[in-house]
Structure formats: C-alpha cells, structure tokens
Amino acid sequence: MVKRNNVKVIGKGDQVILFAHGFGCDQQSWKYIVDAFTDDYRVVLFDYVGSGKSDLNQYDSVKYGNLNGYAEDVLDICEALELKDIIFVGHSVSSMIGLLAAIKEPTYFQKLVFIGPSPRYLNDADYTGGFERTDLESLFEFMDSNYLGWSSALAPAIMGNPDRPELGEFLTDSFCSNDPVIAREFAKVTFFSDNRADLSKLRIKSLTLQCSDDIIAPLQVGNYVNKHISNNSLFIMRATGHCPHISEPEETIRAIKAFI
C-alpha cells in the first residue's frame, strides 16, 4: 500500500493531517502549504493510483470505476499507518472521496476540510453543478483526440488567475505527467459521479472552502454542500480559480488552521 500510493509521512506532531489531491494532480500540489503544518502535525501525503509516483500496475478499471475504489485506498492508508482521529484535507474530487471514506469508517476521522467540493458536476432540474452533459461530452472528445492539447487548454482554465500564467503551467505539467488512459477514466468517474445523496450521511465536523470565482465548483455548489451536510462550516475565500492551495497558499493555510 505504501508503495502503491507512494505514501510519504513528514512532520513532528502527534495529530495527523492527511492531504488528498484532486484530479490531474499528485501530492506535489500541496508543496506550497505543507510546510506550514509540519512543525505541529504529522503530515501524510500520497498519490492516487495513476497519479504521480504511484504504482500503475495496481490500477484496476473495475475497482476505480467509481469513487468508492479511491475511498478504499484512503482507508487502506489509515489502516496501514494505524491512524486515528485524523484531519482529512481533500481538494476537488477528493472531497467526496474523503466524505465516502468517513461515512464508511468514521473512527479514522476527527475533522474534514473540503477545498472546492462538488457532489455533482452536471446540472440537474433543480441543481446547478456548472456543466451540461454536452459540455462534458465535448471535453472527453477533445481529451481522446489530443490529451496533451486538452491538458494545456483545460489546466489553466481550472487554475484561473490568468494574470499569473505560471500557475496554469504548473497544473498543466501535472496533468501531462499522468497516464492518459487512467486520467481519462478518473475524469469520467469524477465528472459523472453524483454524491448528493451521501452528503446527509456525514456526521463528522467539516469545513467547505469555496473560492469566490470557480468554473469547476461554482458558489451555488459550495452553498449546496454546506446546506446538505450537518455540522459543516462554509468559508468563502477571496481566492479565485479551483486550486487556492496553489494560487493563494497563505489564505488557504489561514482558513485550515482557523478550523482545526
């Protein structure tokens, strides 16, 4: 498991924070904020199978055909490292992965932090997710025909902050380093999942960090998450884009520390 998910443990504290990266990223996406926690916490970093330096041979299309497969990996890490009462910090799709893991095995978790969460990316009759099905189908057609071109176009849009193109380049490099076949399957699982019914099952205290302008998880989605999860706090960040831990690390650090 440690090799499968390229698990790294750093830091000095007794309390554990587990950081879970979003789609297209790996544990390097936390590089701008992690040092702020290592003096006081034991920090656990990892890569989902198919990302970063994970063991690609462990990828199974059936297991990872829905988010529960990724949630199982989070629980495997907790079990292998004998963790308890952890603070889980999940970016983007990892918010729902962490939520599923915490519903299944709540004893591992003390608090959860969701950065840009979305329980469903597709619009529905009375729900705004941000995407129409035709939008996503076009996205996947582009992805199939030219993965590197798709990465170069989508990553900067996800990052936002066009006045700082180096941020978009950082995310593009991350996208391009992932296995294209696995990335496509993870993208489909991410964008076509519907976890709205799971929100009310969470009993652990949580925080939603919502960027003020985010094309992937718009403000309506953050409000929806906050409304449907009991004991959830919502913090609207000044940060824009979908990756505040990269674009606005100081604000992200302050928000997480204020909650934990």
Average pLDDT score over residue span 165-189: 87
> Bigger pLDDT: 139 or 67?
67
Give the pLDDT of residue 144.
Answer: 86
Write out the two tokens for 167: 């941020």
Residue 54 lies in a domain: yes
The answer to whether residue 26 sits within a structural domain is yes
Is 61 exposed, middle or buried (CB count within 10 Å of its CB: 0-12, 13-18, 19+)?
exposed
pTM of the model: 0.96
Share of the chain above pLDDT 70, in %: 100
pLDDT, mean over the chain:
93
Show which residues are catalytic.
92, 214, 242
Answer yes or no: is 40 within a domain.
Answer: yes
Confidence of residue 22 (pLDDT cuts 50, 70, 90): very high
Indicate the pLDDT class of residue 132, thresholds 50, 70 and 90.
very high
DSSP-based three-state secondary structure for 78: helix
With H, G, I as helix, E, B as strand and everything else as coil, classify residue 213: strand
- Averaged over 35-40, what is the pLDDT? 96
- pLDDT given at position 191: 92
Q: Are 113 and 260 in contact (CB under 8 A)?
A: yes
For the ranges 28-32, 69-73, 110-114, 167-171, the lowest mean pLDDT is seen at 167-171
Q: Is 53 exposed, middle or buried (0-12, 13-18, 19+ CB in 10 A)?
A: middle
Tell me the per-residue pLDDT of 206-229, one tens digit each, with 9 for 90 and over. 999 999 999 999 999 999 999 999
Question: Where in 3-128 does DSSP place strands (E)?
Answer: 8-11, 16-20, 42-45, 86-91, 109-115
Average pLDDT on 128-152 reads: 88
pLDDT of residue 174: 86
Structure tokens at 103: 């519903």
Whole-number pLDDT of residue 28: 93
Token digits of residue 220: 């309506």
Question: Is the CB of residue 128 less than 8 Å from the CB of residue 196?
Answer: no
The whole-angstrom separation of Cα 112 and Cα 224 is 17
Q: What pLDDT score was predicted for residue 210?
A: 97
Question: What confidence tens digit (pLDDT) does each residue in 143-161 have?
Answer: 888 888 888 888 888 898 8
Q: Reply yes or no on whether the pLDDT at 38 is more than 90.
A: yes
Task: Say what the pLDDT of residue 82 is.
Answer: 94
Q: How many domains does the chain have?
A: 1
Residue 200 maps to a domain: yes
Q: How confident is the model at residue 140 (pLDDT cuts 50, 70, 90)?
A: confident
Residue 1 forms part of a structural domain? no
Q: Identify the pLDDT of residue 11.
A: 95
CATH code at position 185: 3.40.50.1820
Q: Please give the residue range of the domain that contains residue 31.
A: 8-259
* pLDDT surpasses 80 at 1: no
Q: Residue 84: its pLDDT value, please?
A: 92
Indicate whether 176 pLDDT > 80.
no
* Residue 2, in any domain of the structure: no
Residue 190 is predicted with a pLDDT of 94
In-domain check, residue 18? yes
For residue 230, being part of any structural domain is answered with yes
| Window from 81-90, 97-106, 163-172 with minimum mean pLDDT | 163-172
User: What type of residue is 204?
Assistant: I
